[in-house]
């Protein structure tokens, strides 16, 4: 991967016109404990990861690697039907395998206290709701003997007809917004567009699989878990096993990626904890295999989305219609919400936004990389490109022309909105003004060349309920919060936030995260980690200085929690961005390559320039991957994803990513939270696939409305 | 995965004897495909006879011309070898187009030839597959067939052979040296792999205890300008949708000889004899290249998801020949 170096984390005079209220960080006197030569921390510095040395030396323990005494190993048995009942299970051969400690089935597994969440009601009945569901599990002395024995469990089924495919129609309405009269606006407009687009089923595939070590003790349940939130695990798991929350201890100091799939506990965790009730007190370890991940740890629904746009002859939109169709597991409803972003992106007096959900016999859908906004903005921004073309307006200018003054849905002002600044700065950097608008006319050797643009957005939230504790000892400040670092840099960013709030140098702050031993933290999801945990840390720092001033006694300690935001109801709060891509399509073979991507974002204050850029280009790479590759192929006859490994489910590899650059404008938003941050976990992926698809159209003149953009779609 | 016995052979004859005496035994090379299949339950050998340490790890010129490649030579070493890079660039390019750096470091020359299809149904023991379980049916027919065969398939099996290296070897008229229970013999690479017919469980003509000890490349002047072109979904680390290995001997604007093999289209590396014949004596023009490609693909039988392979392989061949001419 070649990454364009950037020395300056912030730039852009365009943003200077926007509100620059600064931050409302607690005003405290400089700490006298700070060494004179080291300045107090200011957010935005480029900090190396505190956890970097441990990770590159292989000493940072991931969930599976925590040393435990005498572990036993679990391997599951998965259903080979998509709907029906287990009618018989023969575990004799499995039990006879040397080293097997227990074989769990629905007939002998311990009963759970709460089975309301059907995804987590593991081995509690004979019902099979999707292919790949757990129907048994083996616990053994070694992973190999567990796997061997699991293969020997014989399961009989009473199969019922299943349905897994999402058609173009059907479903029950999940949401609907109506402003004005869409139909009338479509009927009377100078230019209209009415297109249906699809995005395929996709699966989160973090490098580290979903992993659990579960052990029961006299005090309750201890879990080493690969999770986006130790407290999310505690609060979900405790009632399932009939425990008080305090009886569940969860540890997750390092997490090898989650992308939403580790946001909430899934069935593998419950199965491991169940099995640990039959292991004689020994800890039980289970790492989900790559193939199992395609049935057990969540996925993104396929979508079918109709976009209707109407505009006058100058390219001003009069109507926006967005109807999204998605599937959900029959046993657990989850709405992706693909059409949500169409509510706030562009001005138009007439607007209809709907979502419909179709229950299917599929594994549970769940959070995946910018839920809703990722597939929804892909199709909206593809349609905007088509509409710009139809109106004869440059696609950057077309978006600027339809910029709303207020949130079109709520009528509230935006706390800050710098989409236009991002588009302009991106266009400048990408040399957009020299672009020839004609599609399919540039050729370099055997390659057709084009460029494309798309907008990006993600809502800004602070989840209530996080607390932090700060303790002063030996001239250093220890910061405790049960937050999670998924590889994003949270360890480092939280230390930076604490240092700025305490007005001390970064070097004297020691963060402690990833454990329920530390104060409550909300999930690392929805781009809320830093906004929520950081707010709690700032509050704790304020409280600390209020109580102890700048010369705290040894052992001084203070706590703080996220506070209600008085501005939350007054403003519409979102981050925005502009994505640019250059695409080359081989004239003979249809192969598609992306030599250049640029993302410019307006996401409030950036905490750590180094890790922020890494996170943003990571998101953009995932968008590239979505555009070109990712497609879970659901075989309707069997009911499961048949390309369930990395040979079949392609994710962008290094050679697919060439020049990729992320930048941001210097945005100050005093309304979102005490730091002025908006969260950058998701916005990098949103719109990236549309920019690639729009560039592919510009290169070839071929508009692909069904992802992914595979070579055959460009073949002549 | 089942428990298995592991033996390390000291020489080829001992290795063959070990496997010959045990119906459940098989040879282990780099293990990059076999071990995966064992974990998935697709292959369940009771005994592995490790041949990766046998003294077949060199690349050497043959006395009468040509090159002998030991079967244990890692793919990465073979791709980087000066003799191969200079005299048979198609082979070096094909190797480097396959797998990843880590896999190429482990994978052996013999093992690469004997890797098995990555048909998703073959690799999934919960679905019927005639290749894995003869007579159980073919799940690919009526299923996901984007990677599958358009040439030489049978009702029983539409799988493709995944190797890039084998496509180059077939084009070069390489031969494999085989040590078997009854002694040694030579088999042209183009005849090593089978079409599926009614016995898709048999990938090759080898017996269970036949061990590949070497691959011989003939002396071939036109190979110095040979090339390998692989079309795939990703820029790297993906199996071929279509690949072409080719060499062209052109004099005064006329094709004297063409050598062409396709990958990704059939159960075996597909030596394009019809295209080669069509080109013999033809003008080295785009029209002639296209006619040759169409002659070869005339009997292509695409499946639901892979009709694109016909124009894609045609265009790729034309593009490759155009560059070579």
- How does pLDDT run across B252-306, given as a tens digit for each residue? 999 999 999 999 999 999 999 999 999 999 999 999 999 999 999 999 999 999 9
For A339-343, what is the mean pLDDT?
A: 97
Q: Give the model's pLDDT for residue A37.
A: 57
Q: How many CA atoms lie within 13 A of B42 on its CB side?
A: 24
By the 10 Å C-beta count (0-12 exposed, 13-18 middle, 19+ buried), A325 is classed as: buried
Q: How far apart are CA B178 and CA B175, in angstroms?
A: 9
- Cβ-Cβ contacts under 8 Å, B321 against chain A: none
- Cβ pairs bridging A and B (under 8 Å): 88
Q: How far apart are CA A475 and CA A342, in angstroms?
A: 51
Q: Which two tokens stand for residue A493?
A: 């960013």
Residue of B nearest to A715 (CA): B312
Residue of A nearest to B38 (CA): A148
Chain B interface includes A32 (CB < 8 A): no
Q: How many CA atoms lie within 13 A of A14 on its CB side?
A: 18
Mapped onto helix, strand or coil, the DSSP state of residue B268 is coil
Fold matches, A1-23+413-462+573-633+642-716 and A31-60+464-561: yes
Instruction: Report the phi/psi class of residue A624: left, alpha or beta, with left for phi > 0 and alpha for psi in -120 to 50.
Output: alpha
Architecture of domain A31-60+464-561: 2-Layer Sandwich (3.30)
CA-based Rg of chain B, rounded to a whole angstrom?
Answer: 19
| Mutate which: A589, A625, A655, A716, vs B, most B CBs within 10 A | A589
**pLDDT tens track for A471-492:** 999 999 999 999 999 999 999 9
Of the candidates A174, A596, A104, the one whose C-alpha atom is nearest the C-alpha of residue A372 is A174
**pLDDT tens track for B72-99:** 999 999 999 999 999 999 999 999 999 9
Q: Which two tokens stand for residue A26?
A: 């607690």
Outline where DSSP puts E strands in A399-531: 443-444, 447-459, 467-473, 476-480, 509-512
Q: How far apart are CA A405 and CA A418, in angstroms?
A: 11
Q: Which two tokens stand for residue B103?
A: 């896999």
**pLDDT tens track for A118-146:** 999 999 999 999 999 999 999 999 999 99
| Residue A336 designated active-site | no
Q: Which two tokens stand for residue A251?
A: 């540890």
pLDDT band of A38, cuts 50, 70, 90: confident
- Alpha carbon A679 to its chain centroid, in Å, reads 11
CB A421 within 8 A of CB A665: yes
Q: Give the model's pLDDT for residue A173.
A: 87
For residue B66, what are the CA distances in angstroms to A627, A690, B95, B215? 46, 52, 19, 11
From chain B, which residues contact A within 8 Å (Cβ)? 1-3, 39-41, 118, 120-121, 123-124, 126-127, 139, 142-144, 231-239, 241-242, 308, 311-312, 315-316, 318-319
Strand partners for A326: A303, A357
Q: How far apart are CA A678 and CA A531, in angstroms?
A: 7
Residue B102: how many other CB atoms lie within 10 Å: 10
Assigned CATH class of A1-23+413-462+573-633+642-716: alpha beta
Mapped onto helix, strand or coil, the DSSP state of residue A638 is coil
**pLDDT tens track for A503-527:** 999 999 999 999 999 999 999 999 9
Given the residues A14, A500, A582, A682, select the one marked as catalytic.
A682
Q: Which two tokens stand for residue A412?
A: 């509230």
Of the candidates B49, B35, B87, the one whose C-alpha atom is nearest the C-alpha of residue B65 is B87
pLDDT band of A19, cuts 50, 70, 90: very low
Q: Give the model's pLDDT for residue B21.
A: 87
Lowest-confidence segment of A1-10, A416-425, A606-615, B295-304 by average pLDDT = A1-10
CA distance A67 to chain B (A): 25
Q: How far apart are CA A630 and CA A461, in angstroms?
A: 28
Q: Give the model's pLDDT for residue B219.
A: 98
pLDDT band of A65, cuts 50, 70, 90: very high
Q: Has residue A61 got a pLDDT over 80?
A: yes
CB B168 within 8 A of CB B91: yes
For A190-201, what is the mean pLDDT?
A: 98
Query: Hey, where are the domains in chain A?
Result: 1-23+413-462+573-633+642-716, 31-60+464-561
CB A600 within 8 A of CB A426: yes
Residue of B nearest to A94 (CA): B2
Q: Has residue A30 got a pLDDT over 60?
A: no
Q: Has residue B19 got a pLDDT over 90?
A: yes
Domains and CATH numbers, chain B: 5-50 (3.30.43.10), 227-324 (3.30.390.50)
pLDDT band of A35, cuts 50, 70, 90: very low
Q: How far apart are CA B112 and CA B91, in angstroms?
A: 13
Average pLDDT of the residues of chain A: 94
Q: Give the model's pLDDT for residue A555.
A: 98
- In Å, the largest CA–CA distance within chain A is 77
CB B51 within 8 A of CB B11: no
DSSP string, B173-194: T-EEEEEETTEEEEEEHHHHBP
For A100-113, what is the mean pLDDT?
A: 98
| Mutate which: B38, B140, B233, vs A, most A CBs within 10 A | B233
CB B259 within 8 A of CB B272: no
pLDDT band of A167, cuts 50, 70, 90: confident
User: Do residue B235 and residue A656 have CB atoms under 8 angstroms apart?
Assistant: yes
CB B179 within 8 A of CB B13: yes
User: Do residue A151 and residue B41 have CB atoms under 8 angstroms apart?
Assistant: yes
Q: Is the ipTM of this complex over 0.95?
A: yes
CA distance B316 to chain A (A): 6
User: Do residue B235 and residue A147 have CB atoms under 8 angstroms apart?
Assistant: no
For A150-170, what is the mean pLDDT?
A: 95
Residue of B nearest to A709 (CA): B233
Q: Which two tokens stand for residue A557?
A: 């300690």
Q: How far apart are CA A173 and CA A337, in angstroms?
A: 11
Report which DSSP code applies to B48.
E
Q: How far apart are CA A519 and CA A234, in angstroms?
A: 13
CB A95 within 8 A of CB A144: no
User: Do residue B123 and residue A645 have CB atoms under 8 angstroms apart?
Assistant: yes
CB A175 within 8 A of CB A337: yes
């Amino acid at each position: 991967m070649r990454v364009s170096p950037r020395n300056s984390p912030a730039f852009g005079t365009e943003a200077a016109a926007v509100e620059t209220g600064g931050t409302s960080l607690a005003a405290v006197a400089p700490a006298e404990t700070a060494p004179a030569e080291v300045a107090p921390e200011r957010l935005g510095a480029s900090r190396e990861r505190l956890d970097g040395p441990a990770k590159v030396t292989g000493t940072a323990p991931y969930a599976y690697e925590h040393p435990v005494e005498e572990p036993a190993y679990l391997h599951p048995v998965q259903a080979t039907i998509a709907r029906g009942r287990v009618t018989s299970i023969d575990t004799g051969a499995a039990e006879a395998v040397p080293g097997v400690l227990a074989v769990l089935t629905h007939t002998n597994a311990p009963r759970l206290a709460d089975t309301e969440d059907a995804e987590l009601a593991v081995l509690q009945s004979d019902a099979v709701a999707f292919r790949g569901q757990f129907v048994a599990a083996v616990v053994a002395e070694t992973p190999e003997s567990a796997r061997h024995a699991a293969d020997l469990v014989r399961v009989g089924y009473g199969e019922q007809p299943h349905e897994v495919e999402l058609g173009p129609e059907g479903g029950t309405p999940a949401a609907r917004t109506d402003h004005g009269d869409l139909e009338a606006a479509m009927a009377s407009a100078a230019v209209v567009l009415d297109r249906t687009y699809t995005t395929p089923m996709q699966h989160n595939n973090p490098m580290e699989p979903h992993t659990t070590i579960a052990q029961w003790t006299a005090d309750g349940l201890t879990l080493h878990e690969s999770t986006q939130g130790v407290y999310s695990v505690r609060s979900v798991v405790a009632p399932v096993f009939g425990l008080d929350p305090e009886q569940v201890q969860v540890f997750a100091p390092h997490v090898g990626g989650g992308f939403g799939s580790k946001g909430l506990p899934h069935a593998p965790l419950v199965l491991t904890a169940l099995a640990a009730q039959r292991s004689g007190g020994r800890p039980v370890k289970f790492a989900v295999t790559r193939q199992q991940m395609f049935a057990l740890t969540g996925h993104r629904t396929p979508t079918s989305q109709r976009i209707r746009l109407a505009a006058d002859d100058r390219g001003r939109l009069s109507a926006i219609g967005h109807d999204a169709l998605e599937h959900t597991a029959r046993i657990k409803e989850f709405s992706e919400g693909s059409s949500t972003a169409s509510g706030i992106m562009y001005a138009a007096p007439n607007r209809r936004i709907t979502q419909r959900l179709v229950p299917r016999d599929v594994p549970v859908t769940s959070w995946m990389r910018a839920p809703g906004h990722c597939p929804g903005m892909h199709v909206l921004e593809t349609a905007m490109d088509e509409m710009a073309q139809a109106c004869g307006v440059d696609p950057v200018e077309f978006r600027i022309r339809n910029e709303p003054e207020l949130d079109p849905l709520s009528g509230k002002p935006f706390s800050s909105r710098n989409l236009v600044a991002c588009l302009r700065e991106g266009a400048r950097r990408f040399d957009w003004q020299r672009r020839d608008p004609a599609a399919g006319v540039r050729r370099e050797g055997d390659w057709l060349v084009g460029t494309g643009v798309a907008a990006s957005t993600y809502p800004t939230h602070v989840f209530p309920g996080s607390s932090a504790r700060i303790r002063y000892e030996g001239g250093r400040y220890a910061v405790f919060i049960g937050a999670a670092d998924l590889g994003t840099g949270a360890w480092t960013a939280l230390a930076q936030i604490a240092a700025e709030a305490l007005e001390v140098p970064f070097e004297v702050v020691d963060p402690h995260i990833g454990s329920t031993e530390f104060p409550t933290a909300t999930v690392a999801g929805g781009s809320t980690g830093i906004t929520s945990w950081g707010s709690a840390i700032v509050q704790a720092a304020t409280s600390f200085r209020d109580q102890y001033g700048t010369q705290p006694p040894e052992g001084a300690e203070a706590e703080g929690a996220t506070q209600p935001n008085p501005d939350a109801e007054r403003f519409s709060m979102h981050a925005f961005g502009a994505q640019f891509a250059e695409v080359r399509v081989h004239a003979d073979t249809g192969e598609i390559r992306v030599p250049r991507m640029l993302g410019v974002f307006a996401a409030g204050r950036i905490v750590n320039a180094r890790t922020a850029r890494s996170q943003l280009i990571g998101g953009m790479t995932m968008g590239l991957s979505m555009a070109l590759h990712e497609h879970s192929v659901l075989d309707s006859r069997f009911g499961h994803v048949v390309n369930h490994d990395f040979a079949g489910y392609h994710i962008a590899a290094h050679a697919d990513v060439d020049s990729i650059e992320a930048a941001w404008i210097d945005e100050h938003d005093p309304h979102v939270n005490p730091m002025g941050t908006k969260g950058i976990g998701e916005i990098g992926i949103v719109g990236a696939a549309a920019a690639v698809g729009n560039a592919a159209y510009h290169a070839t003149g071929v508009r692909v409305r069904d992802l992914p953009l595979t070579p055959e779609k460009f073949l002549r | 995965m089942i428990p298995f016995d592991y033996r390390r052979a000291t020489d080829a004859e001992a290795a063959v004897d070990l496997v010959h005496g045990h119906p459940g035994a098989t040879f282990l090379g780099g293990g990059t495909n076999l071990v995966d299949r064992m974990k998935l339950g697709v292959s369940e050998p009771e005994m592995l006879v490790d041949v990766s340490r046998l003294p077949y790890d060199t690349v050497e010129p043959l006395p009468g011309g040509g090159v002998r490649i030991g079967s244990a030579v890692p793919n990465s070493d073979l791709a980087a070898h000066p003799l191969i890079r200079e005299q048979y660039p198609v082979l070096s390019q094909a190797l480097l187009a396959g797998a990843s750096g880590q896999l190429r470091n482990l994978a052996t020359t013999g093992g690469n030839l004997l890797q098995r299809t990555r048909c998703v149904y073959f690799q999934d023991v919960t679905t019927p597959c005639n290749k894995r379980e003869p007579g159980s049916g073919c799940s690919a027919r009526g299923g996901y067939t984007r990677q599958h065969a358009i040439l030489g398939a049978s009702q029983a099996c539409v799988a493709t052979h995944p190797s890039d290296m084998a496509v180059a070897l077939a084009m070069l008229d390489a031969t494999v040296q085989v040590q078997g229970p009854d002694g040694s013999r030579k088999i042209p690479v183009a005849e090593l792999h089978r079409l599926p017919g009614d016995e898709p469980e048999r990938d090759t003509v080898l017996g269970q205890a036949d061990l590949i000890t070497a691959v011989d490349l003939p002396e071939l002047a036109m190979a110095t300008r040979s090339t390998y072109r692989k079309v795939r979904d990703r820029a790297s680390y993906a199996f071929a949708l279509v690949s072409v290995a080719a060499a062209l001997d052109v004099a005064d604007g006329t094709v004297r000889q063409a050598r062409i093999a396709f990958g990704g289209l059939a159960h075996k590396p597909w030596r394009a004899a019809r295209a080669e014949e069509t080109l013999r004596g033809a003008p080295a023009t785009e029209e002639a290249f296209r006619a040759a490609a169409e002659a070869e693909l005339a009997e292509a039988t695409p499946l639901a998801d892979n009709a694109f392979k016909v124009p894609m392989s045609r265009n790729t061949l034309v593009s490759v020949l155009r560059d070579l001419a």
